[in-house]
């Protein structure tokens, strides 16, 4: 058979979509960093997971450090900013605000990608001081200040007893992360496991009643 006279146009394997590519790369970065840790992550793997070339990745993020920082800003810091707005616009009682804040925090730390990322932060970032400092200031400290503001508001309104807001905020952050990690790692071995809903209810009851100025008495 004679060959077709029509010319075939070879399409490029990779197509840049300026509006979409950075978001796809950051989503892939969250997955890969969570799975492999910072040291074990290779930019080639992130690019492959995002469906782009390594060269395309480097068009947007010049190094693995930059990729990690931008991933944290896009995927984690944005959630903190959303919580700041949530607290700022709250119009009900501070007790109800605290309960809603704990529920939001619990939902966030139980997402699979956040469970993996928090393990990376706890186990590995100490070996990368600059990234640890960045994460602490960008996420942990900023989120703590949100909790502190709620506690200070409750003290000022007379709903909460006088406590040290900086310690109470640290305690809530730690409880949420550690309980989420415990469930993820050991739930299968627990002879009397608690559901996520039961854990949230217990955490909320314990924490809120520790702050209330006049806790409700058991009948």
CATH number, domain of 170, equals 1.10.357.10
Q: Place 123 in a pLDDT band, splitting at 50, 70 and 90.
A: confident
Note whether residue 48 is domain-resident: no
pLDDT at position 215? 52
Note whether residue 187 is domain-resident: yes
Note whether residue 203 is domain-resident: yes
Note whether residue 35 is domain-resident: no
Reply yes or no on whether the pLDDT at 196 is more than 80.
Answer: yes
% of the chain surpassing 90 pLDDT: 74
Reply yes or no on whether the pLDDT at 118 is more than 70.
Answer: yes
What value does the mean pLDDT of the chain take? Answer: 88
Reply yes or no on whether the pLDDT at 19 is more than 60.
Answer: no
Note whether residue 56 is domain-resident: no
Q: Are 22 and 73 in contact (CB under 8 A)?
A: no
Residue 178: which domain range? 66-211
Note whether residue 10 is domain-resident: no
Note whether residue 189 is domain-resident: yes
Q: How many domains does the chain have?
A: 1
Note whether residue 71 is domain-resident: yes
User: What's this model's pTM, rounded to 2 decimal places?
Assistant: 0.82
């Amino acid at each position: 058979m004679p060959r077709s006279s029509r010319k075939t146009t070879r399409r490029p394997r990779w197509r840049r979509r300026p509006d979409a590519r950075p978001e796809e790369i950051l989503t892939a970065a969250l997955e890969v960093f969570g799975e492999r840790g910072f040291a074990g992550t290779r930019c080639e793997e992130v690019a492959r997971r995002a469906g782009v070339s390594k060269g395309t990745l480097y068009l947007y993020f010049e190094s693995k450090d930059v990729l990690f920082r931008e991933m944290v800003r896009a995927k984690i810091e944005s959630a903190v900013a959303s919580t700041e707005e949530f607290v700022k616009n709250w119009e009900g009682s501070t007790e109800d605000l605290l309960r809603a804040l704990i529920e939001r925090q619990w939902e966030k730390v139980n997402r699979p990608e956040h469970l993996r990322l928090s393990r990376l932060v706890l186990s590995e970032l100490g070996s990368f001081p600059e990234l640890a400092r960045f994460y602490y200031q960008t996420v942990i400290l900023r989120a703590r200040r949100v909790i502190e503001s709620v506690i200070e508001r409750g003290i000022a309104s007379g709903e909460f007893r006088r406590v040290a807001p900086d310690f109470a905020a640290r305690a809530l952050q730690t409880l949420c992360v550690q309980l989420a990690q415990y469930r993820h790692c050991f739930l299968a071995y627990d002879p009397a496991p608690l559901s996520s809903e039961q854990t949230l209810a217990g955490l909320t009851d314990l924490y809120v009643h520790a702050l209330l100025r006049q806790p409700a008495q058991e009948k």
